[in-house]
Structure 1
Amino acid sequence: MELISTINLLTIVLLLFVVSKIWKACWILLLRPLMLSKRFKKQGISGPKYKILYGNLSEIKKMKKEADLCVLDPNSNDIFPRVFPQYHQWMSQYGDTFLFWTGTKPTIYISNHELAKQVLSSKFGFTIIPVKRPEVFILFGKGLSFIQGDDWIRHRRILNPAFSMDRLKAMTQPMGDCTLRIFEEWRKQRRNGEVLIKIEISKEFHKLTADIIATTAFGSSYAEGIELCRSQTELEKYYISSLTNVFIPGTQYLPTPTNLKLWELHKKVKNSIKRIIDSRLKSKCKTYGYGDDLLGVMLTAAKSNEYERKMRMDEIIEECKNFYYAGQGTTSILLTWTTMLLSLHQGWQEKLREEVFNECDEHGVDGVASSVRTRD
C-alpha cells in the first residue's frame, strides 16, 4: 500500500513537472509572442508575422540571399537595401517603427532619429545591454562593450589613461611606420616596371589595421598581429553565419562540427593573446614597468592592491579580444569605404592629396602629431 502511494506521489510530481515544462514552452514559443504582438499593435506598432520558434529568421535569411545576388550601382550611395534588405522592406510595409522577431526574441526597430535619441538618453533604465548569444563573447570578448554596472565603471576608470591626448599623439609615429611598411609591400608586388597593379584593398586594410592595433595597443610584432587577425577573421565568419539560425540554450556545449571549430579558433585566439601578455611580462623593466600602452595599463592594474584599480588576468584577455576586434574590424571597413568613395569622386582625391602633402611632406608624421590640439 505504501509502495503504491509512493508511486502515485512520484507520478503526480513527474506529471506536474512535465506539465510545467510544457506550459513554459508554450508560453515562450507561442503565447508570449502573440500577447506582445497584440499589445504593440494596440499602440500602433505592427510588423511581420511571428512564426513559432524561428520568428522572422527564415524571412531575413531569404531576403539577404536575394540582396546578395543584386549588383550594386557604383554611382549610388544607397547601400541600405543591400546591407539590411529586411529593414528596407519592412519599413515600406510597416512604417518607421515596427516589431520583428529573431527566434523568440522581440526587437523594436526605430528609424526616427529623435525617438531613438529619446530612448537612448532615458534615465529610467529602459535601455539595457540585451543578453547576447555565446558566439558574441567568443568573438568580441566580455569586455567594456558588454559589461555593466560597477564592473563597467572599474574597467572604464582603469583603461581611460591609455587614451589620453598625449598617448594618442604618441601613436601617430607607429601608425605611420605600419602604413609605410604596407606601402613598401605594395611596391614589391610591381614586376617588370609595371605602372598599375591590382590589390584587394579590403584585405590589405584588414592587415594594416591589425598591425597598427597590435603595435600601438599591445606592443606585439607584425607576425603576431597578423596571426591574431586571421583567427578572428575566421571566427567572424562562423559568428555571422550563426546569426540567422535559431539559438537553443545549451546547444553551445554540444560537440557539433560548428562548435568544435569555434572552440578551436577561440583557443587559438586566447593562446595568441596569452603569448603577447607573457612576452610583455618577461620584458618588464624597472624604469617603465609594463609600458604605458593599453596592455601596459591593464597589466599594471593586475598588480594593484585596490579593487577599484585591479584587473584579473582573465579580464585582461577579454578586454584584449574586445579592443582588438572592435577596433580592427570597424577601422578596416571605414578605410575601405573611404577609399571607394575617393575613387568615385576625383575632386576629393586632389583635396586630400594636397592636405596630406601640406601636413606630412615637410615634417612627416611627427608634424601631424604636433598639430593636434585638445578640444573641449
Structure 2
Amino acid sequence: MGWWWIAAAAAAALAYVAAKLMEVLWWRPRRVEEHFARQGIRGPPYRFFIGCVREMVALMVAASAKPMPPPYRSHNVLPRVLAFYHHWKKIYGSTFLIWFGPTPRLAVADPDLIREILLSRAEHFDRYESHPMVRQLEGEGLVSLRGEKWAHHRRVLAPTFHMENLKMLLPFIGKTVVDMAEKWVTMADPASGEVEIDVSEWFQIVTEDAITRTAFGRSYEDGKAVFKLQTQLMAFASEAFRKVFIPGYRYLINHNYCA
C-alpha cells in the first residue's frame, strides 16, 4: 500500500511540474500573442522554448557575413548591428512582439509612445533580467537593478545629468578631443600631412578619457590598466550572455575541475 501511495504522489508531482512547464513554455506565450494581436500588434511567431532566438541569430550571422553595401559612407548601420529588428520592422511595423525564449519583449520605435512608456507609465516598465553570470561581472548598477533599489540609485544620480551640471564638464571633454587631435598631428606623415587611423579604437579611447577626466580628474593614461581589465570583463560577460544558463551547472564544472 505504501509503494502505491509513493507512486501516486510521484505521478501527481510529475503531472504538476509538466503542467507548470506547459503553462510557462506554451500556454502563457500563446495568450500573450493573442492579447497583443487583438491590439493589432504582431511579430514573428513564438516557437516552443526557443521563441525567436534561432531566427534572430540567423539574421545577425547573415548580416555580419558580408560587407555593408555601398555607399560605404552611409551612417545607416541598423541593418547590420540589429539585422533582426530591421528585418521584422519592415514586416510588422514599428511596434512588434519578439520572443527571447519564453520571455516576450515589445519592440517600440515611435518616439511619442516611448516617451509615454518611460515617463507617464514608468511604473509599468519592467527592466530586463540579465544573465546571472553577466550580473556578477557588471555588479549592481542601474542596468540590472529593479524596483526600489533602482529608484534609489536613479534619484541619487539624477542631479548629475542636469543641464547646468553637464555644462561644467564641457571643458574637460573639450580638452580630451583637443589632445586626440594633437596626437593625430604628431602621427601624420611629414610630407603629405596624412595619417591612417582606426577610428573605432580612437573613439573608444576618447570616450574613456572623457569619463576619467570628468569623473575622477585623471587622464586615460593613468587609468589605462583599469580600462584594460574592464575590457576583459566585458568580453567574459559577452561570452556568458551567448550561453544558455542552466541553474547549478557551474557547480558541476567546478567540482569536476577540482577533482
Give TM-score, length-normalised by structure 2: 0.77
**1:14 matched residue in structure 2:** 10
- Tell which deviates more after alignment, 244-253 or 9-18: 244-253
The 1:218/1:81 distance shift into structure 2, 3 A limit, reads same
Deviation at 1:196, TM superposition (A): 1.4
- Tell which deviates more after alignment, 108-117 or 96-105: 108-117
**2:234 matched residue in structure 1:** 236
- Of 198, 201, 205, 2:199 maps to 201
Q: Report whether the alignment pairs 1:59 with 2:55.
A: yes
- Residue 231 of structure 1 aligns with an amino acid whose one-letter code is L
**CA contact under 8 A between 1:96 and 1:111: conserved in structure 2?**
yes
**1:351 matched residue in structure 2:** none
**2:24 matched residue in structure 1:** 28
**2:216 matched residue in structure 1:** 218
Q: Report whether the alignment pairs 1:46 with 2:39.
A: no
- Tell which deviates more after alignment, 157-166 or 141-150: 157-166
The 1:159/1:113 distance shift into structure 2, 3 A limit, reads closer
The 1:53/1:235 distance shift into structure 2, 3 A limit, reads farther
SS in 2 for 1:222: coil
Deviations 1:14-72 (A, max 9, x none): 33333322222222222222332233334332221222221111111111111121424
**2:102 matched residue in structure 1:** 104
**CA contact under 8 A between 2:79 and 2:86: conserved in structure 1?**
yes
SS in 1 for 2:125: coil
Q: Report whether the alignment pairs 1:71 with 2:51.
A: no
Deviation at 1:102, TM superposition (A): 0.9
The 1:252/1:59 distance shift into structure 2, 3 A limit, reads farther
Q: Report whether the alignment pairs 1:118 with 2:116.
A: yes
- Residue 53 of structure 2 aligns with an amino acid whose one-letter code is L
**2:140 matched residue in structure 1:** 142
The 1:218/1:11 distance shift into structure 2, 3 A limit, reads farther
The 1:222/1:247 distance shift into structure 2, 3 A limit, reads same
- Residue 200 of structure 2 aligns with an amino acid whose one-letter code is S
- Residue 52 of structure 2 aligns with an amino acid whose one-letter code is N
The 1:158/1:253 distance shift into structure 2, 3 A limit, reads farther
Give TM-score, length-normalised by structure 1: 0.56
Report which structure shows greater RCO (CA 8 Å, sep ≥6): 1
The 1:97/1:162 distance shift into structure 2, 3 A limit, reads closer
Q: Show structure 2 runs of 5+ residues with no match.
A: none
- Residue 230 of structure 2 aligns with an amino acid whose one-letter code is Q
SS in 2 for 1:88: helix
**1:85 matched residue in structure 2:** 83
- Of 147, 153, 156, 1:155 maps to 153
The 1:181/1:252 distance shift into structure 2, 3 A limit, reads farther
SS in 2 for 1:199: coil
Aligned residues: 253
The 1:138/1:96 distance shift into structure 2, 3 A limit, reads same
Deviations 1:288-347 (A, max 9, x none): xxxxxxxxxxxxxxxxxxxxxxxxxxxxxxxxxxxxxxxxxxxxxxxxxxxxxxxxxxxx
- Residue 114 of structure 1 aligns with an amino acid whose one-letter code is D
- Residue 207 of structure 1 aligns with an amino acid whose one-letter code is I
- Residue 33 of structure 2 aligns with an amino acid whose one-letter code is S
**1:288 matched residue in structure 2:** none
Identity %: 30
Matches of 2:170 and 2:89, distance apart in 1: 43
- Residue 68 of structure 2 aligns with an amino acid whose one-letter code is V
Deviation at 1:109, TM superposition (A): 1.9
Deviation at 1:124, TM superposition (A): 7.9
Matches of 2:109 and 2:158, distance apart in 1: 32
SS in 2 for 1:217: helix
The 1:60/1:185 distance shift into structure 2, 3 A limit, reads same
**Structure of greater Rg:** 1
RMSD value over aligned CA atoms? 3.4
- Of 179, 187, 190, 1:189 maps to 187
